[in-house]
């Protein structure tokens, strides 16, 4: 990961699951909101991996 990249922010902004632009995230979201969004994305990824392994 490139140094200085705020991955926790960019992961949310570039996610297809969460519809928010960078300016809105930076001006209207708290860091707790960003943290919770990343936790939700982790859960979705884990569930997708579990389904993928179960169907293999």
- Counted domains in the chain: 1
10-28 per-position pLDDT tens digit? 999 999 999 999 999 999 9
pLDDT digits (tens, 9 = 90+) for 36-47: 999 999 999 999
Domain limits for position 29? 21-56
pTM for the full predicted model: 0.86
Instruction: Provide the pLDDT for residue 56.
Output: 75
Answer yes or no: is 16 within a domain: no
Structure-token match 């490139």, residue found: 2
CB 20 within 8 A of CB 29: yes
Residue 47 belongs to some domain of the structure: yes
Q: Is residue 11 part of a domain?
A: no
Residue 1 lies in a domain: no
CA–CA separation, 10 vs 15, rounded Å? Answer: 8
CA angle 54, 48, 35 (to 5 degrees): 145
Q: What is the pLDDT of residue 25?
A: 98
Structure confidence at residue 1 (pLDDT): 77
Query: Token digits for 12?
Result: 């949310």
């Amino acid at each position: 990961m490139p140094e200085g990249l705020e991955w926790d922010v960019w992961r949310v902004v570039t996610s297809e699951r969460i519809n928010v632009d960078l300016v809105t995230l930076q001006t209207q979201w708290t860091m707790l909101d960003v943290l919770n969004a990343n936790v939700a994305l982790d859960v979705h990824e884990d569930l997708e991996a579990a389904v993928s392994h179960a169907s293999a």
